[in-house]
Amino acid sequence: MKQCWLFDLDGVVWLGDDPIPGSADAIGRLVASGRRAAYFTNNSYPRRSDHLDKLHRFGLDAADEDLLTSSEAAAGLCEPGERALVLGGPGIIEALLARRVDALDASSAPEGEGFDAVLVGLDPHLDFARLGAATRAVARGARLIGTNDDATFPTPQGLQPGGGAVLAAVAYASGAKPVVAGKPYEPSVELAARRLEALQVVVGDRPSTDGALARRLHVHFALVLSGVTPRGHGPLDPAADVEADDVAALVERLLAGDLETALPTLGAPR
């Protein structure tokens, strides 16, 4: 069975619409060496097809089963037939509809109608009306579900407020405690454990999500410094098993046999 490496996307493979130089080629070399590459993003805004099209555009041959998202993990917290209000993007709505949940965007919410759940994620089009609709739905008894609680989101222009910042606003305004589905929380741990066989390494740019997910899955954590975590950082929790400037440098070290001490259980793929 092939060893599986699980890659974050934003800050690891790309920044916004810009590929991180060398990442796609390096992942291609990793796959050519006999390993499997899969992807797990906390970015709940895009649809699955958007993520996959972007991977393909940047030269990565990813199949649908290779992609895991926080939207998918969050939708799993709703039951078929429930009604959900979405403060986020089309990726959340798509995942809910696939789960046979009646999903409605916060901009279209009829005033006074009840919902079973409010799902919150990254929302570049956030405005006060949408925020208010979500807050009122929670105040009327809907469960509050966050696709993730990432405070920031890496872009070519620098860090921007992440899905966790939007979630914090709804939680604070409504007084509700959210259940969070994305990395590194239990719904994501269960999703990764169910979908991925022979997982060996989680590669990411944020220790509190990617690193913590690796620890909960009992696999290695490889930190890359191309996204959220800067060069010259201080102590991290959790600490990485191995650190590299970017995916290209990480894979170069692996294929050169330079990671055998840091990642002793890997060896050659089977």
Show the domains of the chain with their CATH numbers.
4-42+184-255 (3.40.50.1000), 74-180 (3.40.50.1000)
pLDDT in tens, 242-259: 999 999 999 999 999 888
The tokens 């606003």 sit on which residue? Answer: 169
pLDDT of 270 reads: 38
Torsion, CA 70, CA 252, CA 218, CA 180, rounded to 10: -20
CA atoms within 13 Å, Cβ hemisphere of 18: 11
Residue 267 has pLDDT above 60, yes or no: no
What is the arithmetic mean of pLDDT over 179-197?
A: 97
pLDDT of 266 reads: 64
Predicted model pTM:
0.94
- Average pLDDT over the chain, rounded to whole? 95
pLDDT in tens, 72-120: 999 999 999 999 999 999 999 999 999 999 999 999 888 777 999 999 9
pLDDT in tens, 200-227: 999 999 999 999 999 999 999 999 999 9
What is the arithmetic mean of pLDDT over 151-175?
A: 95
pLDDT in tens, 42-75: 999 999 999 999 999 999 999 999 999 999 999 9
Residues 6+ apart with CB under 8 A from 222: 201, 202, 203, 204, 240, 241, 242, 243, 244, 250, 263
pLDDT of 147 reads: 98
